[in-house]
Amino acid sequence: MAGEEVVCGKVIKYDEVEATPVPREMATGTTIRWLISNEDGAKHFYMRLFEMEPGAHIKPHYHPWEHEIFILEGGGEVRIGDRVFKVEAGHVVFIPPNVEHEYKAGESGMKFLCIIPAAPTAEEVAEPLACK
């Protein structure tokens, strides 16, 4: 149909996608690659790959959408609310909307996938949800 693009998907190696530094106010020593986004025809959720240098830190934050995470390489610590988890390659992490979280890479660094929805999925809150 004229003017309508048939999107046929894509196949790419992750490191063909540019790694952009995460701004200093949000993280140290961390890059993000947007592996699948709206530019690829994805409309509902996006796949990103984060690479954290040894000792890098993604600072505490919260937002009205969830994270679905898979640790690919290395490891470190993930805090969800009041709980801190040691993670390594093969760990799966689900962080619900509006729960505060942060990440610290261990001495090998940490590489992980993080999938997010295309738009917020919860109401904004003035304070993060309590999670003990």
- Going by DSSP bridges, is the β-strand pair 67-80/27-36 parallel, antiparallel, or unpaired? unpaired
- Give Cα 43 distance to the centre of its chain: 17
3-state class of 98 per DSSP? coil
**Interface with a second copy: number of residues (CB under 8 A):** 46
Task: Tell whether residue 105 is a contact of a second copy (CB under 8 A).
Answer: no
CA distance 36 to 47: 5
- For the CB of residue 25, give the shortest distance to a second copy in the complex, in Å: 24
- Provide the mask over 65-104, with x wherever binding to a second copy is found by CB under 8 A and - wherever it is not: -x-x-x-x-----x-xx-x-x-x--xxxxxxx--x-----
Q: Residue 112, SS3? A: strand
Binding segment toward a second copy, per CB under 8 A, in 5-13, 19-27, 52-60, 102-110: 5-13
* Residue nearer to a second copy on the CB measure, 57 or 67: 67
Q: Which stretch binds a second copy (CB under 8 A): 18-26, 44-52, 55-63, 102-110?
A: 44-52
The β-bridge partners of 61 are: 101
Residue bearing tokens 């993930």: 78
